[in-house]
Structure 1
Amino acid sequence: MDRFDPAKLAVTYIAPITPFRPFEGRKYTLTHSDSTGQLFLTIGPKYLYTNSQYKDEVYAEWLQTMGEFTLCGKVHVTKGDFDEQHSKVRFMIFRKEMETALKALVFGDQAFYSCFPWLLDAPIYIKFESVYPEFNKMIYYGTPRQYMLGVTEKTHKK
């Protein structure tokens, strides 16, 4: 994934989710092609699970807790299906590529933010799921506004 290129992002909405509604139940699944660099974002009422043996998808959804909205995501490092060394590599790759993934996720759903602009300042947390404690972490990744600004600034400079 390395750097986010909006031209390599394909977005699919699954009913009843549209670019503008609803907020409740909105789930994101981001996958990619290693060979082409293409990113695929599916936004729908449930996650789009693949049969990929590597499980490289990023899943996210909007949650409301005590009146605060949060974009909560998760990635699969290992549930015991990878040894500790392979899990360390997966963890490091996910950490390195998460900014690109979040740019794609936010940019791909930018029309949604025109209806819910307050969500641009909501916190983003990503859960790295692993059986190994050193890779089983919840990490704060800023706000959608940070990712939207980074992409739109670069897009307008071209």
Structure 2
Amino acid sequence: MSTFYPEKLSVEFMEGTAATEPVIPRRYTLTHSDLTGELFLNIGIDYAWGEINPLRDEVLGEWKQYGTSLFFDVYLYVDQGEIPMSSSAKRDEIFRRELPLAINAIKYGDRSLFKTYPCLDQAPIIINFMSTYPQFARQENWGTFQSIAT
């Protein structure tokens, strides 16, 4: 896993979203620059579709409610059927290696929300690996923010 450097994270709260509200709907679009290593986090009531690149290597996440409990739902696009399976395998490997960094960046970028609602640290993180190849298309429970984020 790569190391998370807070100084390389830029955070933008989009229209309709503030540092501590709303919790639902609250969606995260995390993108990065391969050249500089910078991370860009957009927090809004919708995803920042304009920030997404054609390779779809961003991390999309949102708070959802099941009964009285909250969970964090993440979507990772391993492929969209346009790349060979060997490339999908590599992308899957990269996503898995870098996901803890992404979770750390989201928590740090939205730290005021986590400070206001400490129960969010205990929310399950559900990862949806999106792929046209069955061996990469899966849903996994990755623990909680407290267990992943430092």
Q: Smaller-chain TM-score range? A: over 0.9
Give the partner amino acid of 1:91: D
C-alpha distance in 2, partners of 1:61/1:51? 16
Aligned ranges 1:113-132 → 2 under 5 Å = 113-132=114-133
C-alpha distance in 2, partners of 1:143/1:114? 15
Give the partner amino acid of 2:93: M
- Measured on the aligned residues, the alpha-carbon RMSD in Å equals 1.3
CA deviation digits over 1:18-38, x for unaligned, max 9?
Answer: 111111110000000001000
C-alpha distance in 1, partners of 2:127/2:52? 22
CA deviation digits over 1:126-149, x for unaligned, max 9?
Answer: 10000101100112222122344x
Indicate conservation of the 8 Å contact 1:30/1:101, yes or no: yes
C-alpha distance in 1, partners of 2:68/2:142? 20
Q: What residue number does 2:87 align with?
A: 86
Give me the identity figure in percent: 36
Indicate conservation of the 8 Å contact 1:91/1:135, yes or no: yes
Q: Is the helix fraction higher in 1 or 2?
A: 1
Relative to the length of structure 2, the TM-score reads 0.94
2:44 equivalent to 1:48: no
Q: How far does residue 51 in structure 1 lie from its aligned partner after superposition?
A: 5.0
C-alpha distance in 1, partners of 2:16/2:148? 26
Indicate conservation of the 8 Å contact 1:106/1:147, yes or no: no
C-alpha distance in 2, partners of 1:90/1:137? 14
Relative to the length of structure 1, the TM-score reads 0.89
C-alpha distance in 2, partners of 1:79/1:15? 30
SS in 2 for 1:47: coil
Q: How far does residue 16 in structure 1 lie from its aligned partner after superposition?
A: 1.1
**Residue-pair matches, total:** 149
Q: What residue number does 2:30 align with?
A: 30
